């Protein structure tokens, strides 16, 4: 039975801190990214080629994106390290899921005590001894063969289930939630720093009842952003992992190839979406709405 679990399992512990397979994979991924960057940095050349070209194009792309969204080059230079780091980390976390071995190489644990071993599926010869409570769907009068899922669970319970050693970090809701929290909290801090206390007037505004209501909505929408960031990334990558696992289980040769292509595309797009949305929310946070209103009114006079 394939191992599709929502919650990543712990594989070892460092002292009192449990280390799950997704945390372990995060460290490995970070290590690989740092190794690549340090190797490129050691032999920098004025005309980039190879990996240096790739890294420079990523940086240039985000520098241009930041400049076009934020407006000024100075602001873009302040924002690019954060935005590009988000992109690189999320891309590394996403792309791990298409590497062979991730999710398949693991430790086989003994039958867990919390796996419910259902009642045995009766072989046909012993039907006369079957009390009617043995069929799980006792509502049906005739013996209803739901043998397939339970037989699989039974076999899995006998041989234990596979705990993968590597699991893409983005399939762990903890990681995506942490990234979402970082994004939203940094947005608030940048807004507070740029506008001062007037940033809070976006949320708490007593000038007229409509603004008060809009402020409440804005506050709720900040929390909705956290949820939306976390679940968008988690859902895309976890569903992709489930899709790949199921496709490989059904037809192991050649047919999963388009799905691998789709997953690589999704990895790039989701990383870009995370970074670009953070950038746009930062832009919205540092934009002063009241000054625009006042200056617009001033021009009419």
Partner 1 sequence: MPELKFIAMGLSVGLAAIGSGIGMGLLVGKALEAIGRNPEATPKIQTNMILGIAFTEALTIFALVIALIIRFV
Residue ranges binding partner 1 (CB under 8 A): 4-6, 136-137, 146, 149, 228, 231-232, 234-236, 238-239, 242, 269-270, 272-273, 276-277
**Residue (113 or 300) nearer to partner 1, CB:** 113
3-state secondary structure of 13: strand
E-assigned strands of 146-262? 162-164
Instruction: Give the shortest CB-232-to-partner 1 separation in angstroms.
Output: 4
Residue 239 CB, nearest distance to partner 1 (Å)?
5
- Residue 223, CA distances (Å) to 89, 106, 189, 227, 273 in order: 23, 37, 15, 7, 18
Nearer to partner 1, 89 or 238 (CB): 238
Residue 91 or 199: which CB sits closer to partner 1?
91
Distance CA 183, CA 229 (A): 9
Closest CA to 164 of 215, 216, 105: 105
Q: What is the largest CA-CA distance in the chain?
A: 95
Pick 33 or 268: Cβ nearer partner 1: 268
Q: How far is the CB of 6 from partner 1 (least distance, A)?
A: 5
Is 181 or 189 the residue whose CB approaches partner 1 more closely? 181
**Closest by CA position to 225, among listed 174, 288, 260, 181:** 181
Q: What are phi and psi of 100, to 5 degrees?
A: -65, 140
Distance of closest approach, residue 173 Cβ to partner 1, in angstroms: 9
Angle at 126 between CA 121 and CA 129, to 5 degrees: 95
Tokens 């790039």 sit on residue: 268
For partner 1, give the closer residue by CB, 173 or 195: 173
3-class DSSP state for residue 1? coil
CB of 272 to partner 1, least distance (A): 7
CB atoms within 10 A of CB 256: 20
Query: Minimum Å distance from CB 275 to partner 1?
Result: 11
């Amino acid at each position: 039975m394939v191992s599709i679990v929502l919650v990543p399992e712990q594989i070892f512990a460092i002292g009192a801190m449990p280390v799950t397979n997704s945390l372990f994979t995060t460290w490995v991924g970070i290590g690989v990214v740092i190794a690549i960057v340090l190797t490129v940095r050691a032999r920098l050349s004025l005309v980039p080629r190879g990996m240096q070209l790739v890294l420079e194009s990523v940086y240039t792309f985000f520098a241009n994106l930041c400049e076009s969204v934020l407006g000024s080059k100075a602001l873009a230079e302040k924002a690019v390290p954060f935005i590009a780091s988000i992109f690189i980390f999320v891309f590394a976390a996403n792309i791990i899921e298409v590497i062979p071995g991730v999710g398949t190489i693991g430790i086989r644990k003994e039958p867990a005590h919390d796996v419910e071993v259902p009642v045995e599926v009766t072989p046909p010869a012993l039907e006369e001894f079957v009390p009617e409570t043995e069929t799980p769907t006792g509502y049906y009068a005739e013996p209803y063969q739901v043998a397939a899922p339970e037989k699989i669970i039974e076999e899995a319970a006998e041989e234990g289930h596979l705990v993968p050693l590597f699991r893409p970090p983005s399939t762990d809701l903890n990681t995506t939630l942490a990234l979402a929290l970082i994004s939203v909290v940094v947005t608030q801090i940048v807004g507070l720093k740029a506008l001062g206390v007037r940033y809070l007037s976006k949320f708490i505004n007593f000038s007229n009842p409509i603004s008060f209501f809009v402020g409440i909505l804005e506050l709720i929408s900040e929390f909705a952003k956290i949820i939306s960031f976390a679940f968008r990334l988690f859902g895309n990558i976890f569903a992709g992992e489930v899709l790949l696992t199921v496709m490989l289980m059904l037809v192991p040769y050649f047919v999963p190839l388009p799905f691998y292509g789709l997953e690589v595309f999704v990895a790039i797009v989701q990383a870009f979406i995370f970074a670009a949305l953070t950038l746009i929310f930062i832009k919205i946070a540092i934009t002063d709405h009241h000054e625009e209103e006042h200056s617009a009114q001033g021009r009419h006079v």
